Amino acid sequence: MTNNKLLLSLAVAATFALSACDQQSTQADVAEAQQEAQENVAEARQDAAENVAEEREDLRDDMGDRDMNGLDGERADVADAQAQAQYEVAVAEAEAQHKVAVEKAQTMPEGPEREAAIAEADAALEKAKADAEAARAEAEANAEQMDENADAERM
């Protein structure tokens, strides 16, 4: 009888030890996901800023070569670059939030709550991507309209 109690106590202690170890591992995974997410968003912002800066530099260069009416196409290019940059940053942020949310969900015990948390994270990612795409499409349409208006004024 005493051996059974001892074995049971050891089994319970081992289970708690493994659970604590697994929880620490999972918390480390969440922290790692947060760090990677921040790095990815920062990289997307940097790339976006560089792309927009290049388009603005092209616009400034062209300002010396043409009259102001000829610059509307260049302005549209800058607007397109800004729209693309905003889209890329929004998607990077959404993917970062998704990764962290999924890692946090993985810390939950397996079951319907965990699956619901993952499904919620997936749905939030898809919505954010759709919103970013809609915003980009609207901005590009505005830039195209700007370009068409400039063409019509030249005629």
Specify whether the CB–CB gap between 103 and 30 falls below 8 A.
Answer: yes
pLDDT tens, 36-92? 878 888 888 888 788 777 877 777 776 665 555 555 667 777 888 888 889 999 999
Of residues 20 and 120, more confidence is placed in: 120
- Distance from C-alpha of 140 to C-alpha of 118, rounded to nearest angstrom: 33
- Can you give the pLDDT at residue 11? 57
- Distance from C-alpha of 25 to C-alpha of 107, rounded to nearest angstrom: 9
Q: How confident is the model at residue 94 (pLDDT cuts 50, 70, 90)?
A: very high
Token digits of residue 62: 């062209």
Burial class (CB in 10 A: 0-12, 13-18, 19+), 94: buried
Q: Is the dihedral of CA 60, 65, 68, 71 positive or negative?
A: negative
Token digits of residue 96: 């970062």
What residue segments make up the domains of the chain, in order of their start? 27-154
How much is the average pLDDT of 118-133?
Answer: 96
Neighbours of 31 (CB within 10 A): 12
